[in-house]
Amino acid sequence: MSIPHATSRKASRSTVVPRHVAIIMDGNRRWARARGLPAIEGHRRGIVALREASRAASDAGVSILTVYGFSTENWRREASEVSLLFELCVFFARTELLELRKNNVRVRVIGDWQTLPDSARRALEELQENTADCTGLLLQLAVNYSSRQELDRAVRSIAIDVASGALAAENVSEETLRDRLYTAGMPDPELLIRPGGEHRLSNFMLYQAAYSELVLTETLWPDFGRDAFNRALHDYSQRERRFGGA
């Protein structure tokens, strides 16, 4: 997939914005706890933040926005919270559809999402189907996602093909691996944003983010609005990317 760099419609014509932005949406539960609210309220408010980030990304000319919605590690949380998260997933898929279509946003889900409970899986399937004809921002939802699991899955696929003779070992390359990731054919994220005050990748896009510029902020995700997103883009625009060359 060849996606050219875009220029921001609200910035100067020379301002280069990232084609692909990734976000680790972190801090929902802490946001709720600080207000004496149940955790699910933080997750609900996180949906509003995602809506604002999607709008801001579209307006800036970003082509792909990938957000970390639910990790494989999140299954360790209390069963009641996990169940509510899946209910919220269904709620998001159904209530945001008109907004997404209005803004010409196409949704794609990556991760082991097809093993989710039926209601959540069907809701995500329908959301992808019902936005498939949109041609603007690609919103990628990483759901039941683990980067280590993604890499394990890709390596096993290559090993099976080599063992069966479908692929010669000497022909295995970096591109062979890239083509078997969930993000096959897509540019790596130039910018990775992590709200919430943590300074780690948390098993998110470990391969794809090898040279991503990182913007880490103390702002909790439910409070991460359009202005915060635009500040991250501005921060990115001030950097010189060297890819390890200097």
- The Cα 40–Cα 22 span in angstroms is 23
Give the pairing of strands 6-7 and 16-17: antiparallel
C-beta of residue 188 within 8 angstroms of C-beta of residue 211: yes
- The Cα 127–Cα 86 span in angstroms is 14
Residue 26 annotated as catalytic:
yes
For the CA atoms of 220, 106, 6, 151, the dihedral, rounded to the nearest 10 degrees, stands at 70
Residue 74 annotated as catalytic:
yes
Give the pairing of strands 106-110 and 138-145: parallel
Closest-CA residue to 103 (of 57, 46, 44)? 57
132, burial (CB in 10 Å: exposed 0-12, middle 13-18, buried 19+): exposed
Residue 172 C-alpha from the chain's centroid: 28
Q: Which of 74, 103, 130, 203 is catalytic?
A: 74
Closest-CA residue to 220 (of 191, 197, 202, 193)? 197
For the CA atoms of 84, 85, 90, 95, the dihedral, rounded to the nearest 10 degrees, stands at 100
In the numeric block, the tokens 């921001």 are attached to 8
User: Looking only at Cα atoms, what is the longest distance across the chain?
Assistant: 59
Q: Which of 26, 28, 144, 230 is catalytic?
A: 26
So which residues are the catalytic ones? 26, 74
